[in-house]
Structure 1
Amino acid sequence: MSKSVALTTERVDDIPLLLAQLKRMGVQELLDEHFPTHGNWQGLSLGNVVVVWLCHILSQADHCLSHVQNWVEKRLESIEVSLDEDLRALDMSDDRLESVLRYLSKDSSWSSFEQDLNQRHIQVYDLSPKRVRLDSTSVSGFWEENKAGLFQRGYSKDHRPDLPQLKVMLATLDPLGLPIASEIVPGNCADDPLYEPAVHQVRQTLEKTGLLYVGDSKMGSLRTRHVIESGGDYYLCPLAKTQVCAEQLQQYLLPVQEGKVTLETVNYKYANGKIEEIAQGYERAHSCKFKQDGQEFIWEERRLVVYSIVHATSQKKAL
């Protein structure tokens, strides 16, 4: 007499691929190492819970806590086999995920985890970092303003000054775009002070000097440039009027007007193969001085005086 066989049908989708990639990156191991849980924690470890949650977010493009448990219930066998761990749907309840977020909110633990994770990326993919891009942005939403929290009203790049916001500072490898360091601060913070901590985080992660830091004009404060230069690195950024006043700019333009310098042409090759002149300019040296704790630091800076053809054309039209 033949025995009846119970068959379970599940949609595998991209789950094995995502879990295998997260395992290769060592996400679960590093999370369990840097975020130890309370002795009463039972079931799947915090690292494995986060890995499954990340898999859900990437697979379903859905970050809602309340949807994860139902999604896991329909894929228990697939996830168990991929994790090689016993799994219950309750391990992914919204209460458990909320507890995970509380553990991950510890800044000191997150910073050390981020450094170890990025160092593993560098080793796994054999990257040779040379350039780092720094930039900050604001994220606004329909939140309640909290005077002691992240959600504050400040200068809104979304043109929504009526909404509370938070700010995110990100450092990425160029041209790969791999995030190396991140920091989340209240939305009423200024952008300028965020660059120095980001530089220190990158240095702790990459453990390498001689990098070129690329940023916007807010990275051009004298203190930030000193931090980068004193650490054996380089910087590239436009200087705002607070760094180069109108009188100093006229001094830079005077040799051009008198024909005492030879301008170099800057050409750009477009995707269609067309090469077009986009700018002209010349380079000059400038001695920078920065005082800190009674000490004076001096270094030579290369300043590029550039005439952008597109920018000049737009200004003429506006005039």
Structure 2
Amino acid sequence: MEISSERIDDIPLIVEWLKQMEIAKCIDQKLKEPHGNHKGLSYGKLSVLLLTYIITQSDHRLSAVEPWVEAHRKILELSTGWSIGEKDASDDRLARVVEELGKQSEARQEIEVKLGRHLIRAYELLTVVARADTSSFSVNHQQGQSPEESLLRYGYSKDFRPDLLQYRQLLATLDPMGMPLVCATLEGNGADDPLYFPTWQKMAKVIGHKKFVFIADCKASAIATRAQIAANGGVYCFPVSMSGQHPQYLKQWVLNPPLQTWSIRLPRQDEEEPAVGKGFEVELGKFWLNEETNKWVRWHERYLVVYSQSLAASAIRGQQQRILTARTALDKLAAKPGEDRGELTQKVENIKKRYRVNDFFSTTIIEETLVTTRNCRRGRPSKNSPTESVTSICLQLHIQQIDDAIQLSETLAGWRLYVTNAPITRLTLPQAVIYYRDEWLLERGFHRFKRGSLPALPIYFQNQDRITGLMFILNIALRVFTLMEFVVRLALEQTQQSLAGLYDGNPKRKTNRPSAERMLQAFCHLTLYSLSNSTIFITPRTDLQKQILSLMKMPESLYQLPFGVLQDIITSDPAQVSTL
């Protein structure tokens, strides 16, 4: 009897997640229908096939999807219930789907809103805290003919590759799982400041209310952003940038605290452990003129003046090392100052700028003119030998360390300013610090895009609409990962259990915060066997796989096919398999 085999691994599980998230339905309802001659699967169904490939293979190359679908056709058809044609998953059709998702911006935003509302309602997600940030993605493309209209441009690179073209990705997520709700692919050289208020508006539309705390980095603390969010009934909490009047505020409040200082402790911290920091609040009234409406916006803000012991110790160590290195370089320069005053001045300024010690050293260059007598002839001079006067310039570099400035900087080290318009009953000082300490939740999504299991790089698309569409697909895949982790971790917390067997080489190691990547990896080596008499068998599931399915609230029937002789292989003995 002939037996054919097909690896199924985590494919049924991923397809079921995509079904429950209603990905195909959302895309088909909002995306414009293809032309009349289009045959085969719809855009939504093709997106599900592409997402399944990306999640299982950690690869977004469209050319590799068609052979992968051909190798897993039976399990894909059984899991989805669709009849997949021979050319349905060709790179041309998938490229058309990706391009349409990137081209139809209104439909893309409607998909985000519909999908986000469905997930919040279906999984009863908390909508208390949301955060946003941007990151750059460098590519090895060549500059196009019209760079001002292209998505790929030269700009400030967070990857430290200013020589490469790049595009930026905005990501807005929902705590505590870091699930994306809003994403946008932007040109590579724009400013981030104008993005945060429109992002807040989109988040409020998806979430359905404006009472969530919006958290972002200091680029969001522009007065215009804060005023517009406050005027529209929103709540924010941002660290302020050290520009304008903020350095003077910080210096004045730290040296002369206007209020009592309170200790800051983490929620799970023991009472015997020292506090992680301290701080106090200062309330100020703010106003801003909206130039579009020519109306003043007035609101009250709380400045949170926060001190971190670990941050202060790290800053002081770094500052001392920079001062020592700069002093060594300046002393070396003073030993051989040269004769060009302008060149010496430039070298001193470069050293101060490189080590950021401009306020810690006072340098003075003294120029002396020396006149010496030199013999005009060669050999030993005699009494009547002719001589000439030679004038030379001698430079001296005097270095003085400013101890008062160094002491002041060490006093201010570890202090940060945060600003919020939330009342103290809505957001306390320790809560604001804890919320900002969880900024890694959002960064984890960027890590998955750059060096993780959902890689966007290297990217091979030249069409900017396809780049935008691909990033939208990857953001949907990120939603799958974050929801998996949220559901499983919540179930483990409620039952006070841990999950063991996820780590190779250490099967007894337990965790109550398993990652989606490790849970999907646990379904490797599951195989579907087809006999010539249409009988189908599946490799038996392990206890770990059954436990993960139970924690995910997934039915065990995912790996029990609904037709034929439905039973699992009891043993892996080839002799027994051949007799089935």
Kindly indicate whether residue 125 of structure 2 is the aligned counterpart of residue 127 of structure 1.
yes
Which residue does the alignment assign to 2:238? 237
Supply the distance in 1 between the matched residues of 2:315 and 2:9 (Cα, whole angstroms).
53
Supply the distance in 1 between the matched residues of 2:231 and 2:239 (Cα, whole angstroms).
19
* Alpha-carbon distance, 1:245 to partner: 3.4
Which residue does the alignment assign to 2:87? 90
> Taking structure 1 as reference, are residues 134 and 85 closer, same or farther at Cα in structure 2, changes over 3 Å only?
same
- The within-5 A match list for 1:283-302 is 283-292=281-290, 293-302=293-302
* Alpha-carbon distance, 1:308 to partner: 2.2
Which residue does the alignment assign to 2:355? none
Larger Rg: 2
Question: What is the RMSD computed on CA atoms of the aligned residues?
Answer: 1.9
Letter aligned with residue 150 of structure 2: G
* SS of alignment partner, residue 75 of structure 2: helix
* Alpha-carbon distance, 1:202 to partner: 0.4
> Taking structure 1 as reference, are residues 275 and 173 closer, same or farther at Cα in structure 2, changes over 3 Å only?
farther
Letter aligned with residue 143 of structure 2: E
Which residue does the alignment assign to 1:162? 163
* Alpha-carbon distance, 1:289 to partner: 0.6
Supply the distance in 2 between the matched residues of 1:214 and 1:270 (Cα, whole angstroms).
22
> Taking structure 1 as reference, are residues 275 and 135 closer, same or farther at Cα in structure 2, changes over 3 Å only?
farther
The question of whether the paired residues in 2 share the 8 Å contact of 1:183 and 1:198 is answered with: no
* SS of alignment partner, residue 263 of structure 2: strand
Letter aligned with residue 263 of structure 1: T
The question of whether the paired residues in 2 share the 8 Å contact of 1:66 and 1:93 is answered with: yes
* Alpha-carbon distance, 1:41 to partner: 1.1
Supply the distance in 1 between the matched residues of 2:271 and 2:37 (Cα, whole angstroms).
63
Letter aligned with residue 253 of structure 1: V
Deviations 1:217-238 (A, max 9, x none): 0110111112222232211111
Deviations 1:231-255 (A, max 9, x none): 3221111111235433333332343
Deviations 1:67-112 (A, max 9, x none): 1110111121211122212112310001111111121112111011
Supply the distance in 2 between the matched residues of 1:235 and 1:193 (Cα, whole angstroms).
15
Deviations 1:142-167 (A, max 9, x none): 12234121111101111111111111
Letter aligned with residue 310 of structure 1: S
Which residue does the alignment assign to 2:142? 144
Which residue does the alignment assign to 2:546? none
Which residue does the alignment assign to 2:57? 60
Which residue does the alignment assign to 1:33? 29
Q: What is the TM-score with the length of structure 2 in the denominator?
A: 0.52
The range that moved more, 234-243 or 115-124, is: 234-243
* SS of alignment partner, residue 167 of structure 2: strand
> Taking structure 1 as reference, are residues 244 and 306 closer, same or farther at Cα in structure 2, changes over 3 Å only?
farther
Which residue does the alignment assign to 1:221? 222
Kindly indicate whether residue 17 of structure 2 is the aligned counterpart of residue 48 of structure 1.
no
The question of whether the paired residues in 1 share the 8 Å contact of 2:259 and 2:281 is answered with: no
Choose between structure 1 and 2 for higher RCO, CA contacts under 8 A separated by at least 6 residues: 2
The question of whether the paired residues in 1 share the 8 Å contact of 2:77 and 2:84 is answered with: yes
Which residue does the alignment assign to 1:203? 204
* Alpha-carbon distance, 1:25 to partner: 0.6
Q: What is the TM-score with the length of structure 1 in the denominator?
A: 0.92
Kindly indicate whether residue 116 of structure 2 is the aligned counterpart of residue 118 of structure 1.
yes
Show structure 1 runs of 4+ deviating over 4 A: 5-8, 269-274
Supply the distance in 1 between the matched residues of 2:111 and 2:36 (Cα, whole angstroms).
21
Supply the distance in 1 between the matched residues of 2:16 and 2:62 (Cα, whole angstroms).
23
> Taking structure 1 as reference, are residues 121 and 274 closer, same or farther at Cα in structure 2, changes over 3 Å only?
farther
The question of whether the paired residues in 2 share the 8 Å contact of 1:170 and 1:198 is answered with: no
Unaligned runs of 5+ in 2: 321-580
Residues matched between the structures, number:
312
* SS of alignment partner, residue 180 of structure 1: strand
Unaligned runs of 5+ in 1: none
The question of whether the paired residues in 1 share the 8 Å contact of 2:126 and 2:175 is answered with: no
The question of whether the paired residues in 1 share the 8 Å contact of 2:211 and 2:234 is answered with: yes
> Taking structure 1 as reference, are residues 274 and 110 closer, same or farther at Cα in structure 2, changes over 3 Å only?
farther
The question of whether the paired residues in 1 share the 8 Å contact of 2:287 and 2:298 is answered with: yes
> Taking structure 1 as reference, are residues 315 and 155 closer, same or farther at Cα in structure 2, changes over 3 Å only?
same
Letter aligned with residue 289 of structure 2: K
Identity %: 32
